[in-house]
Amino acid sequence: MDINIDKSDTNAMDIEQIRTFLSVAANGSFLEAASRLYVTQSTVSTRIQRLEAYLGVSLFVRNRSGATLTLPGRRFLRHAKSLLLTLEQARHDIGLPSRYRASITIGARIALWEALLPEWIGSIRVQVPDVSIRSDIGFEEDLMRSLIEGSMDIGMMYTPQHSPGLQIEHLFDETLVLMTTDPGKPWPNDDYIYVDWGPGFYAEHSNSYPDLERPAQVVNIGWLAVQLILSNGGSGFLPIRIAEPLIKSQKLFHVPDSPQFKLPAYMVSPRDSDSIILQQVLDHLRSLAAIERQKTY
């Protein structure tokens, strides 16, 4: 069905058009962008057409495989991120109490919030007490989308995706160890829970256990594996820093002669931000990561 565009609507650009443009650019698909934004595909098409009419250029090349940015689209991408970030910050800062000079949003995988980032956030609050901090939990896909759209300032995760305008920095390496509630029970067994720590872990796990059948239980976050193991008994690969207190309390034990795997953690942030506050927080996080790298568990 053809979409009729009211020409009077092409004389303005709004935040939803920018957000939609960034979503299509990030996902390479009008359909996928519609799913992410919880709107219809026709709504996405209308917003992009109105934005293109306002700018006087075509932003995407549409084909069966999806949508790719044109040269003008690539040029607009940086400006769109900056515009959205400015609008989001403006909306937040307008309601910010006068005792705060700025606000930042920090997001991370739930495993990094476990026994680590709460301490880091506390340290940041001491370092810059006049900055408001929003803390979010998400998977890599959600975190990267928020960073691309400009609604998040700092993301910490295990498998970031490279994107123009974003910088990726290595923070530290998690050490994944195989833990169990019953060290005397032969392993592997039906109580093993496979935690999806990403493609790198999958490759190393497959190389170490080429004949292992698909486990009866699979989870997508370590926190859930811990809850299932402690409630029902079993085993799984967990970061040693998370398992350490459970080892000390004798709730979990190392599986004898099991391998250890490295899981790098990364920090993602805008590449060319001129925010002094953001740079100050990033520098502090780098210092905290350096301390974490020196720890032995």
Q: Write out pLDDT tens, residues 45-79.
A: 999 999 999 999 999 999 888 999 999 999 999 88
pLDDT score, position 14? 86
pLDDT score, position 2? 39
**Average pLDDT value for residue range 163-169:** 91
Distance between CA 20 and CA 34 in Å, rounded?
8
pLDDT score, position 92? 65
pLDDT in tens, 89-133: 676 667 677 787 888 999 999 999 998 999 999 999 999 999 999
- 124 in helix, strand or coil? helix
Q: Is pLDDT above 80 for 87?
A: no
Percent with pLDDT over 70 in the chain: 93
**Average pLDDT value for residue range 159-172:** 93
pLDDT: which is higher, 22 or 151: 22
pLDDT score, position 273? 85
**Average pLDDT value for residue range 238-255:** 96
Please report which helix (H) or strand (E) contains residue 266, including its range: strand 261-270
pLDDT score, position 41? 94
**All residues at 6 or more sequence positions from 140 whose CB lies less than 8 Å from its CB, including other chains:** 109, 157, 158, 159, 160, 161
pLDDT score, position 127? 94
**Average pLDDT value for residue range 168-174:** 97
Q: Is pLDDT above 70 for 269?
A: yes
Q: Is pLDDT above 80 for 297?
A: no
Q: What confidence category does residue 5 fall into, taking pLDDT thresholds of 50, 70 and 90? A: very low
pLDDT: which is higher, 230 or 103: 230
pLDDT score, position 17? 94
pLDDT score, position 93? 63
Dihedral angle computed from the Cα positions of residues 175, 255, 198 and 244, in that order, rounded to the nearest 10 degrees? -40
Distance between CA 55 and CA 281 in Å, rounded?
36
Domains of the chain (ranges; CATH) run 7-75 (1.10.10.10), 83-169+266-293 (3.40.190.10), 173-263 (3.40.190.10)
pLDDT score, position 3? 41
Look up residue 98 and give its two tokens.
Answer: 């006068």
pLDDT score, position 95? 67
**Average pLDDT value for residue range 217-224:** 95
Phi/psi of residue 13, each to 5°? Answer: -120, 130
Q: What confidence category does residue 294 fall into, taking pLDDT thresholds of 50, 70 and 90? A: very high
Look up residue 2 and give its two tokens.
Answer: 């053809």
Please report which helix (H) or strand (E) contains residue 167, including its range: strand 166-180
pLDDT score, position 240? 96
Decide if 146 contacts 166 (C-beta within 8 A): no
pLDDT score, position 11? 58
